[in-house]
A = this chain, B = another copy of it.
Amino acid sequence: MPIITLTTDFGTKDHFVGAVKGSIYNELKEVRVVDISHQITPFSITETAYILKNAYRHFPAGTIHIVGVDSEISQENKPIAIQMDGQYFISCDNGILSMITNEINPEKIVEITIQNSEDNNFAILGVFIKVACHIARGGMLEVIGKRITDIKTIYEIQPQVNEEQNQIVGSIIYIDNFGNVISNIAKSIFHNIGKGRTFEIVARNYKFTKIYEQYNDIVDFSVPVDKRQDDGKRLALFNSSDFLEISMYRSNLKTVGGASSLLGLNYRDNITVRFL
């Protein structure tokens, strides 16, 4: 029996997540439901795409991902299901999945045509769960929808390369639990454009001329532990999702602050890489 995951902006206080899980277990006793996130900023397409893209690839083949963000069904926001990279994604056609299909060719896309029996304003409960359980039972996508070839595409998270091929202008697409600021500049584009040249990275007033391998590479281990002053040092690195990230070593958003709060960096701000 495959896993069903949930990625929503419902929060974990309200009854919604419990209701969704109850409904799934009501249909399928043996399935396993795994939370990816319920803390997404309400209606944030970009955050959802970032989180889902970085989580889904760790799941087993055949996993079914329900996306409950901006999921009220309308004439412009139709429910779709996509088979892609060996897994399944159920969402409204609001651009979220296009940020994954930009990189990975979908094997099959359907517009979901089965109807919601009730609960018009809680689409996920009605339609998405039915579709997920259908797939989990081994059902074909064609049974619950009609094949389509295009989905609504959102391009905003692509970094721009200038004509001279010596500059990449990216933007901040995510700020994580530690206040690390994550750009849309992937390791691959950095290396493809940079070709080993020296560089400087500019974020607001701050410059970085080195990209670290891991956070604690900034630590000088030859200094005795009680004399070190590494906490709060800023650094650039490629994070575990291979995106260029600005970080402060051992930062804490709830107390001293993190890269986002201390460097004044926020969603959509530019991060620029200049090759020299």
Cβ contact within 8 Å between A63 and B14: no
Cβ contact within 8 Å between A176 and B121: no
Cβ contact within 8 Å between B72 and A23: no
Given contacts A60-B22, A121-B237, A177-B10, contact A42 B251 (CB under 8 A): yes
Cβ contact within 8 Å between A54 and B213: no
Cβ contact within 8 Å between A51 and B15: yes
Cβ contact within 8 Å between A120 and B214: yes
The quantity of this chain's copies bound in the complex is 3
Residues in A18-76 with C-beta less than 8 Å from chain B: 18-23, 25-26, 29, 32, 34-43, 50-60, 63, 72, 74-76
| Among B10, B14, B29, B214, contact of A51 (Cβ-Cβ < 8 Å) | B14
* Nearest CB in chain B: distance from A122 CB, A: 4
* Nearest CB in chain B: distance from A153 CB, A: 14
Specify which of A10, A17, A125 lies most central, judged by the most chain B CB atoms within 10 Å of its CB.
A17
| Among B22, B25, B252, contact of A41 (Cβ-Cβ < 8 Å) | B252
Given contacts A18-B34, A56-B22, contact A13 B237 (CB under 8 A): no
| Among B3, B52, B214, contact of A121 (Cβ-Cβ < 8 Å) | B214
Cβ contact within 8 Å between B22 and A221: no
Closest to A3 in B: B25
Cβ contact within 8 Å between A221 and B58: no
Residues of chain B contacted by A122 (CB below 8 angstroms): 239-240
Cβ contact within 8 Å between A38 and B12: yes
Residues in A210-248 with C-beta less than 8 Å from chain B: 213-216, 219, 221, 225, 237, 239-241
Given contacts A21-B34, A34-B21, A75-B221, contact A12 B26 (CB under 8 A): no
Cβ contact within 8 Å between A215 and B121: yes
CA gap between A32 and B125 in the complex, in Å:
21
Cβ contact within 8 Å between B40 and A13: yes
Proximity string of chain A (167-200) to chain B, C-beta cutoff 8 Å, 1 when within and 0 when not: 0000000001110000000000000000000000
Closest to A26 in B: B60
Specify which of A177, A213, A253 lies most central, judged by the most chain B CB atoms within 10 Å of its CB.
A177
Give me 23 A-to-B residue pairs in the complex whose CB atoms sit less than 8 angstroms apart, sorted by A's number.
A3-B22, A5-B18, A11-B39, A11-B177, A13-B176, A15-B36, A15-B53, A17-B35, A17-B36, A18-B51, A19-B58, A22-B55, A25-B34, A25-B60, A26-B58, A42-B177, A42-B251, A58-B125, A74-B221, A76-B221, A76-B225, A121-B239, A121-B240
**Can you name 17 extra interface pairs (CB under 8 A) apart from A14-B37, A23-B58, A25-B60?**
A11-B176, A11-B177, A13-B51, A13-B176, A18-B34, A18-B35, A18-B58, A20-B58, A21-B34, A22-B58, A42-B178, A42-B251, A42-B253, A42-B254, A74-B216, A121-B213, A121-B214
